[in-house]
Amino acid sequence: TSAPEEAADIVVSLDSFEHFKDPATILRIMDSYLAPDGKAIASFGPPWYHPLGGHLFSVFPWAHLIFTEQALVRWRKRFRPHQAARTIMECGLNKMTVGRFERLIAESPFRFERCQIRPIHGHSWLTVPVLREFGTSVVTCTLVKRPEPQPPLPRAADRAIADVQDHACTIVATVGSGCADGGPQSS
């Protein structure tokens, strides 16, 4: 996919991150579409460990975690016989968790400007770390581009900067003492 001719101020992804085959690549594509000060809005849910995180596979809460992948795909084939999927991923679900999404962002060109992890039915006790994966209903966030990292200076440049800093300190010290270098003085 090539970037558009004009960069976008906002790129939006709704209810998709749990379906993308390669979400890391999607993040790079989103980055390529954005203006330098642009923002990406991403919202998805339910994540994989939510009671209905298996989407179609969740015939009852957490069914997708109780049955084997093979059993789930075989069950799904009854409703979608035309699809030859052999895995949940081939069925269009990548098992996205809250933690995996956070790691993807940490390794991407983005950082979180804002992130809201909404618990099931607004129950705040579901946001404690041990329950967060099982109690999150929707993840909604605003992403901004990371600042470009500055390349390290070569060793010679380090010495030149140190020399300039030393000289600047000398100049600062002599300015207050009436131009000790013998140059013009003001009276």
Q: What is the pLDDT along the chain (187 residues), one digit of tens a residue?
A: 566 688 999 999 999 999 999 999 999 999 999 999 999 999 999 999 999 999 988 889 999 999 999 999 998 888 888 888 899 999 999 999 999 999 999 999 999 999 999 999 999 999 998 899 999 999 999 999 998 776 776 666 555 454 444 443 333 332 333 333 343 333 3
Q: Amino acid identity, residue 115? A: C
Question: pTM for this one?
Answer: 0.76
Q: Which of 24, 9, 179, 38 is nearest to 102 (CA)?
A: 24
The CA-atom distances, in angstroms, between 135 and each of 28, 35, 38, 99, 124 are 29, 35, 31, 13, 9
The CA-atom distances, in angstroms, between 169 and each of 165, 166, 174, 176 are 6, 5, 9, 12
- CATH code: domain 8-145 is 3.40.50
Residue 32, phi then psi, degrees to nearest 5: -70, -25
